[in-house]
Structure 1
Amino acid sequence: MTSLKAYQNDDGGFGNAIEPDLRAPNSQPLYMEFALRVLYDCNIKDEELSQKACDYIAKHAVLKNGIPTIFSSSANYPRAEHWNNPLSAEPSFSRLTGLVGLLKWQGIKHLWLDKATEICLSIRKFTSIRVYQRTYYRQFLSLGRRFPKLRTFSSRIFTIIDFLL
């Protein structure tokens, strides 16, 4: 945890090149996902870190559109060629859904997170799932085991996702 927290900036986000393909020191949604994924993969829950992360995401996400993978300011720093794609700086509902799922897994209480969860449950958002987005939706929908409201919904969507692939 000490190593991971070293990458967390004062704004609650993560930076300082926690993901090696982008060397920006400022917080990026990509870095946030990377940090939350490390916690998930290691089965570590940290309320303080997650509350700060949620505050950061709430400040930068637009619930109707999502959150970019990286901010355009990252262009000022060394980065791998694949991050030069202009779509990386466009809001992504898929990215937001994955972040919401990882934050919900942390078990934190946050008003914005409750609202974001409800929006992520909107069935119309799942009508155009691309193959690479499957991971984000599975992160979010895997919460169905712990949250009864998601249980029926997630089983229907898993069927749709698997059919689309």
Structure 2
Amino acid sequence: MEQLTLQHLFKVNEVEIVYRNKIPYQDRLQITSSSTAYEILLASWDENRLELVEQFKILLLDQKNNCLAVSGISSGSISSCTADPKIIFATALKVGASAIILAHNHPSGNLQPSEADKSLTRKLKEGGKLLDIAVLDHLIITPRSYCSFADDGLMPS
């Protein structure tokens, strides 16, 4: 094995975590219902892609459920989209979120959650517990309506 010289020791990548919230606290929208979350998500979605490809986003919330940001996590195909838990929680940790709301669209217009949707929700809920980040809801959205896992009793405990 090659002996590391002092010069080689300094050839290591650095990571810097930066987050700037440009919206004053008093101007942040508070999420008090799934319908509020849906309206925020729908306004942030590219309407030209809503019925074209499946996309996954998260709402990042502070301790009082004020919305810190909406973050696009991934974009997929007509019938699927990969939501990587590492990216989801890295994003939540970066902004100091206390809670998140998961969301993805169904281009087909079908609001029924699939088994994959339910499984992902369980996985993320468990991951959130380890990080003290509450996963409050998972919305499936279309241009006309939405399904809320929390409202429909589908959120894992």
Under a length normalisation based on structure 1, what TM-score does the superposition of the two structures give?
Answer: 0.29
Bigger share in helix: 1
Bigger share in strand: 2
Larger-gyration structure (1/2) = 2
Under a length normalisation based on structure 2, what TM-score does the superposition of the two structures give?
Answer: 0.30
